[in-house]
Homo-oligomer: A and B are copies of this chain.
Amino acid sequence: MAHRIAKRDELIVALGEIFRERGFEGASLSVITERTGLGKGSLYNLFPGGKAEMAQVVLEEVAAWFERHVFVPLRESADPAAGIAHMFDAVIRFFRSGRRVCLVGTFALDDTRDRFAAEIRTYFTAWTEALAAALTRDGFDPQAARAMAEDVVAGIQGALVLARSQQDPAVFARAIERLHQRTQGTQRD
């Protein structure tokens, strides 16, 4: 049995890692009990809704993290370019420089997609819109800002796929760097 996890927060983080590594279907109760050190009794006591509730809570946690570390800075930073830089830093940290995969992206592709469709959709629209708004404030034409925001969010997701496929975090780092530079470009309409 793995080390016992004391606090609920840590448990949610651990669940997130498991879902990221194995997907929703692949994260069986047996691997969850093993990795968290919690028996089924404890798990179902904490999450009466079972696996679906665990995934739901993890998704909410992810959404909250992005809200705090990405969306708020994008929206409220006095200097929009600083907010955008902050976003890229946060993304690099969150995805562990490409070693981690995007849970929401994973869920968006596999057969879990319908179950969490609303959460997945919200995550990406919120991100795209917050970034587009920041780019607009930074001098981009609104239409160009929207296009650039889509490019950046899609580019990050794609970079995660590519880095994972090559087992090479450097691919992710390079892609992030280029995306960041493009947001600082001069052609803005």
Contacts and interface: CB of A to CB of B under 8 A. Distances in A.
A53 interface: no
In this complex, the member of A105, A110, A121, A165 whose beta carbon has the largest number of chain B beta carbons within 10 angstroms is A165
B147 A174 contact: yes
Contacts of A175: 150-151, 154
Interface in A145-176: 147, 150-151, 153-162, 164-167, 171, 174-175
User: Chain copies in the assembly?
Assistant: 2
Given A111-B21, A111-B26, A154 B161 contact: yes
Interface residues of A, number: 42
Contact of A162 (B124, B147, B174): B124
A2 interface: no
A22 B26 CA distance: 12
A37 interface: no
Interface of A: 21-23, 25-26, 101, 104-106, 108-111, 113, 117, 120-121, 123-125, 128, 147, 150-151, 153-162, 164-167, 171, 174-175, 178
